[in-house]
Amino acid sequence: MLPIRISISTKLRETAVTAVLFVALLCLASLCLSGTAQAQDDDYEFGVLFDAPGVSETYYNCIACHSEKIVAQQGQTREGWVYLLEWMVEEQGMPVIEEPDYSIIIDYLSTHYNTDRPNFPKR
């Protein structure tokens, strides 16, 4: 009966080694994929803002005074964004944003950062 135990023990050891190697390969693959995603994120120039038409105008006008993260955490109706931009001009000394940039920014913000906050940053 002793040879059978040695055989089972060897088989279990081989299975355990195979399982450990498999998990190690999965971890390595996960790191490679997350590194690729991170590299792609690092190349994105608009921070946490959702990539859609108007992101460039919004990003560059907003970061002149504050982080784009302040924008992304808001949830305003179209009227709320209009009011907020007017408040920034009147109370905070922000330069007036001229057309067509003003409409592009309001459209972008009211679509992507409205009251249901569909693009609230997750990181």
Domain extents in the chain? 1-43, 55-112
pLDDT at 67: 94
d(CA 68, CA 70): 5
Report percent pLDDT > 70 for the chain: 64
> Could you tell me the end-to-end alpha-carbon distance of the chain, in angstroms, rounded to an integer?
58
- Tell me what the pLDDT averaged over the chain comes to: 78
Domain 55-112 is in which class?
Answer: mainly alpha
For the entire predicted model, the pTM comes to 0.64
Residue 58 has pLDDT above 60, yes or no: yes
- Does residue 29 register a pLDDT over 80? no
Tens of pLDDT, residue by residue over 75-105, are: 999 999 999 999 999 999 999 999 999 999 9
